[in-house]
A and B are shown apart, each in its own frame.
Chain A
Amino acid sequence: MARQMTNLFDSSKCTACRGCFSACKNSNQMPALFDRSYFGGPGNGTYDSKDGDTDAETLTMIRFNETEDPVDGVRWNFLKWQCMHCVDPICLKVCPKGAYTKLDWGCTFHDEEKCIGCQYCTYACPFGIPKYRKRTDTVTKCTLCYERVAEGLQPACAQTCAPGAIKFGYRDELLEEARERVKYLRVNGFPRATIYGETELGTGTNKLYILTDTPDKFGLPVKPQIEGNTIFWQNWVQPYFGWLIPIALGASALSFVTSRVIANKNKEYEGHAEGGHE
């Protein structure tokens, strides 16, 4: 396995300018959607978009999480939201078309050419990331700008981020940096600062976050997990239950042979035409 590469997002540096959002749209040639507000959806009217989500034409966005604390007062927690590029991705496992592959440098790559838009992955993903796009009848998600990375460039979002909140590099180096940063933040006004993505889901996500507060204050699942329904379907029904069908076919074939052999032995094959059993 090649050395893992990824994006590190530092929430303490993000100013919510949404440059990454524009750069991503631009780089992936995705239209702006005027029928929805990225500040929380129609009718919400506030800057609180903690329930906002990516969509088929929006691979990343900044979520605004307003928190209130008796000590710290009101705070805005900004989170860049996109595919987490899980180390052991469930989307890859459930896809009947093998549209997902894990690139050797860590990107969970989705091949739109192979995708048939069944959305199994959408409902299996612990973050609900892949989104259905009607015009192509496929799902879409963050590509980690694999084409740019292959050319030695940074992902568009990382390159554009003016305050340096998104940094692309080797995962091990970024993790070291994140640990140092969290140490610093903890003694400088953010005692609950933490890293997200190192061990989540057991094996971790390739994508890393530095959070200034606990994950729930960023609208992230504290313990992300794969649903029991998905595990039962993939680990039990998919691999084993199907074998019951050949057993039924085999029994019929066996009966086809034995019933005719027995009938011929008894020289009563005419019995068939006359009505079978007595």
Chain B
Amino acid sequence: MQWIPEYRDDVPRVERFNLLARSTHWIHTVTFLLCLFTGLALFLRADWLAVIFGGFRGAGLVHRIAAVVMTVTILTAMVIGVKGVIAWLKDLLRFGMNDIGFLLKFPAEFLGLKVKIPPQTRFNGGEKMNSMVTPTMVFLLMISGWIIWWPSIWWPGLVRASYWIHDIAMILATIMVSMHAYLGSFHPGSGESFWGMWKGTVRADWAQHHHTIWYDETYGEKAQAEAE
């Protein structure tokens, strides 16, 4: 059984994510998962999870270290890569009929049925959803997390609210992340997506097929002509 498509460099490829986007993505992945499993030890009151990190104190320490790395990475990347962030937000705001079409037909594709999907921009309807929900939840996690860490400097009501905000944001983010991780790798319909985030490039024919609008605007004949 094939898990993900093989990486081929004998065919034309186009860039999808630059180095900054990719490193931020993967540092966030690692720190998120560290925070998740150390946090779940407390949320589920699971001794067996805490043991992996050397007990609850160890888990708390890992949680905090990962939290600092995550916060610093995200904030730095947003400053250095402000152009990319703006381009990304602009693409999210291009939410149109094609995205609604995507979302309506997606459940069938998710299960593996063949469907005709309307042309997509750089991020398809599902990716747009993920791009809106996950970062929002991660920001809520960071804000509530820092409040929980240093409770005495805040208004007590805010600390109490932070406890359930941290939990709900963790739950929603984890739902999105687990679906996203699967769709970005093992889901047969997603094809080259994984290589876009791992190596930075995707096959040109795949890009043209899956993200027609983005491909035409960025690498199509008109765009090429303009660039020259």
Chain A interface residues toward B at CB < 8 A: 96-98, 116, 118-120, 122-124, 128, 132, 137, 227, 229-230, 232-233, 237-238, 241-242, 244-245, 247-249, 251-252, 254-256, 258-263, 266, 269, 271-278
A278 touching B114 by the CB < 8 A rule?
yes
Convert B152-172 into 0s and 1s, putting 1 for each residue whose CB lies closer than 8 angstroms to a CB of A: 100011011101100110011
Stretch of B90-98, B128-136, B183-191 with 4 or more beta carbons under 8 angstroms from chain A: B183-191
B151 touching A261 by the CB < 8 A rule?
no
A227 touching B157 by the CB < 8 A rule?
yes
Alpha-carbon gap, A216 to B24, bound state (A): 54
What is the minimal beta-carbon distance from A255 to any residue of chain B, in angstroms? 5
A252 touching B178 by the CB < 8 A rule?
yes
A248 touching B209 by the CB < 8 A rule?
no
B160 touching A229 by the CB < 8 A rule?
yes
What is the minimal beta-carbon distance from A121 to any residue of chain B, in angstroms? 11
The answer, among A241, A256, A261, A275, for a CB contact under 8 Å with B182, is A256
Neighbouring A residues of B188 by C-beta, 8 Å: 259-260, 263, 269, 271-272, 276
Neighbouring A residues of B115 by C-beta, 8 Å: 277
Neighbouring B residues of A244 by C-beta, 8 Å: 171-172, 175
The answer, among B43, B113, B191, for a CB contact under 8 Å with A242, is B43
Interface centre among B114, B163, B186, B189, by most chain A C-beta atoms within 10 angstroms, is: B163
B151 touching A119 by the CB < 8 A rule?
yes
> Which residue of chain B has its CB nearest to the CB of A266?
B114
A260 touching B42 by the CB < 8 A rule?
no
Chain B interface residues toward A at CB < 8 A: 1-2, 5-6, 42-45, 56-57, 60, 109-117, 148, 151-152, 156-157, 159-161, 163-164, 167-168, 171-172, 174-175, 178-179, 182, 186-192, 203, 205-206, 209-210
Interface SS, A side? helix
B191 touching A276 by the CB < 8 A rule?
yes
Alpha-carbon gap, A190 to B43, bound state (A): 49
A245 touching B174 by the CB < 8 A rule?
yes
15 residue pairs from A and B, CB less than 8 Å apart = A96-B42, A118-B60, A118-B148, A230-B160, A233-B163, A242-B43, A245-B178, A248-B179, A255-B182, A259-B112, A262-B111, A273-B5, A275-B191, A275-B205, A278-B114
A255 touching B2 by the CB < 8 A rule?
no
The 5 closest A-B pairs by CB, nearest first: A259-B112, A229-B160, A233-B164, A262-B112, A252-B182
> Which residue of chain B has its CB nearest to the CB of A232?
B164
Known: A255-B111, A258-B112. 8 other contacts (CB 8 A): A124-B160, A252-B179, A258-B111, A259-B110, A260-B1, A262-B113, A275-B192, A278-B114
B109 touching A277 by the CB < 8 A rule?
yes
Neighbouring B residues of A120 by C-beta, 8 Å: 163
Interface centre among B159, B174, B178, by most chain A C-beta atoms within 10 angstroms, is: B178
Query: A255 with B45: in contact, given A229-B157, A273-B6 (CB under 8 Å)?
Result: no
What is the minimal beta-carbon distance from B55 to any residue of chain A, in angstroms? 9
The answer, among A119, A237, A256, A275, for a CB contact under 8 Å with B164, is A237
Neighbouring B residues of A252 by C-beta, 8 Å: 178-179, 182
Neighbouring A residues of B206 by C-beta, 8 Å: 275
Neighbouring A residues of B111 by C-beta, 8 Å: 254-255, 258-259, 262
Neighbouring B residues of A123 by C-beta, 8 Å: 151, 156, 159-160, 163
What is the minimal beta-carbon distance from B123 to any residue of chain A, in angstroms? 16
A116 touching B5 by the CB < 8 A rule?
no
A229 touching B164 by the CB < 8 A rule?
yes
B60 touching A116 by the CB < 8 A rule?
yes
Alpha-carbon gap, A244 to B57, bound state (A): 27
Alpha-carbon gap, A263 to B56, bound state (A): 45
Neighbouring A residues of B160 by C-beta, 8 Å: 123-124, 227, 229-230, 233
Neighbouring A residues of B168 by C-beta, 8 Å: 237, 241
A255 touching B187 by the CB < 8 A rule?
yes
Alpha-carbon gap, A45 to B82, bound state (A): 53
Alpha-carbon gap, A247 to B179, bound state (A): 10
B112 touching A269 by the CB < 8 A rule?
no
Neighbouring A residues of B44 by C-beta, 8 Å: 242
> Which residue of chain A has its CB nearest to the CB of B161?
A229
Alpha-carbon gap, A230 to B1, bound state (A): 49
What is the minimal beta-carbon distance from B165 to any residue of chain A, in angstroms? 9
Query: A277 with B189: in contact, given A118-B42, A229-B163, A272-B5 (CB under 8 Å)?
Result: yes
